[in-house]
Structure 1
Amino acid sequence: MAMQAERDVQAIVETRLAHETHRLATGLLVDAGGRSSVPSQALAQLRDFIVANLRHHHETEDLWLWPLIAAAAPDTTMALDGLSEEHIQLDIALDRLAAVDLTGASISSHGRHELREAAVAVRESVRDHLIREEPMLFPALRQHITREQWEAFAQRVITTTPPVAGHLMIGFLDEVGTPAEVESMLVNMPPPVMSVLPALRSQASADLRVLRGGSS
């Protein structure tokens, strides 16, 4: 039973940290988009990180995690299909956010307004979706996904994560999780990534400071 509890905690911890990262990142883009002092390059980097990672996150759920849960618990199929439909709606909001032109050294007031409106739509879509997803997903992870299945899924997610401002993921994880939780989530990262974690953390700290209105 102790091993079962340990497995359950890890699956849920990793999922919770990923979700909290999405909440934090999308909220930060809304806030940063409303500050004229934040450079366009910093906004573009965060925007691109959000678009790439949210798409990847829900695609891995639709393609790999949902089928595992549905195979073990067919009665969850309808709920999982509903969550996948919400992913499609999120993609529409992400398309709008990705289309905002953030090239150039500065952004016009109209451009910032456009960015913020698109960012708000993504933030609200993510928050509403997770409110519905988590009460169903967390028990499903506990009851229906084996340790081996979770580890294989998590490794597949790691190896396919898009290399878009990956240091921001490290920075966000450090903010939403305890050191022990973050360490347990990062332990299976590729050795080249593990060897540069201090540099990634330093870069993330500097970039997040700029996004929050501080100096680099």
Structure 2
Amino acid sequence: MTGTSATDTRVRPDVTGMRIAHRGMLADTRRFAEITARIAAGESCPPARAAAVAQYLTLLCDSVHHHHTIEDTVVWPVLVAAAGPAVAVDELEDDHVQLDAVLGTLRQRASAFGAADADRARAAAALTETLDAAHALLSEHIAEEERVVFPIVDRYVRVDDWERVEKAAKKGSKMSFEVPRFVRYATEEELVELRAGAGPLIRILLGLLVRSFDKREAVIAG
């Protein structure tokens, strides 16, 4: 969403996509920690549910890793080129190294949880521990990133440069996973803008993707 003020009519980059991506990471790590904690405490988890949880978490790890890779390879260079010494991203890059280590553990434990011969309660407890760690790291990192990055984008980055960032982000992402999550975690106002900018075919595709996503969500919910 672009914005202007009474004294500045410059069109600004739209960081809505990044905001929603951050919102989804935090919401997913929190809700899956709650789901796996209930399973660890004895809630029923037949093989189909365990497989759906494991699949979702693997896709989530792919999504978070892709997001951070785009930041390291595209976003940070754009910020430095635009703002120079006004921006410092070293600590944010260091966070990505820590997060990648946690994501590696999360992948392993999700796979163990989904295995046919898993001790489901024990695997769920280990998974909950890792999801809690991922959520804590992401919460701290995202808060700092939005505090540092968004004002720099707003003040220094050109719209066409930010559009290049968004194109790069879409290029390597799994849209069948990302688009329904975007719809799930967008606000009503954000969804209105999304639908207003989408043609009839895109709206039909959105509906199909969301329905497929919702079927898996029903299995995950048990």
Q: How does 1:51-66 map to 2 (within 5 A)?
A: 51-66=61-76
Distance 1:99 1:6, change over 3 A: farther
| Residue pair 2:180, 2:206 contacting (<8 A) in 1 also | no
Query: Which position in structure 1 is the counterpart of 2:156?
Result: 144
Give per-residue Cα distances to partners, 1:106-163, cap 9 Å, x unaligned: 74221111111111111111111111111111101111211111111101110111x3
| Residue pair 1:155, 1:188 contacting (<8 A) in 2 also | no
Query: Which position in structure 1 is the counterpart of 2:33?
Result: 30
Q: Which runs of 5+ in 1 are unaligned?
A: none
Identity %: 22
Query: Which position in structure 2 is the counterpart of 1:175?
Result: 184
* TM-score, structure 1 as length reference: 0.83
1:153 maps onto 2:165 in alignment: yes
| Residue pair 1:29, 1:46 contacting (<8 A) in 2 also | no
Paired residues in the alignment total 207
CA distance in 2, matches of 1:42, 1:5: 48
- 1:102 pairs, out of 84, 109, 113, with 113
- 1:75: how far off? 1.8
Distance 1:171 1:32, change over 3 A: farther
Any idea what SS the aligned residue of 2:219 has?
helix
Query: Which position in structure 2 is the counterpart of 1:16?
Result: 19
Larger Rg over CA atoms: 2
CA distance in 2, matches of 1:16, 1:159: 18
CA distance in 2, matches of 1:153, 1:83: 17
* TM-score, structure 2 as length reference: 0.81
Runs of 4 or more, structure 1, over 6 Å off, are 3-6, 186-189, 191-194
1:119 maps onto 2:119 in alignment: no
| Residue pair 1:90, 1:122 contacting (<8 A) in 2 also | yes
Distance 1:45 1:70, change over 3 A: same
| Residue pair 2:53, 2:114 contacting (<8 A) in 1 also | no
Distance 1:103 1:209, change over 3 A: closer
- 1:192: how far off? 8.9
Partner amino acid, structure 1, of 2:115: G
Give per-residue Cα distances to partners, 1:151-182, cap 9 Å, x unaligned: 11101110111x3xx44433332232135524
CA distance in 2, matches of 1:205, 1:140: 37
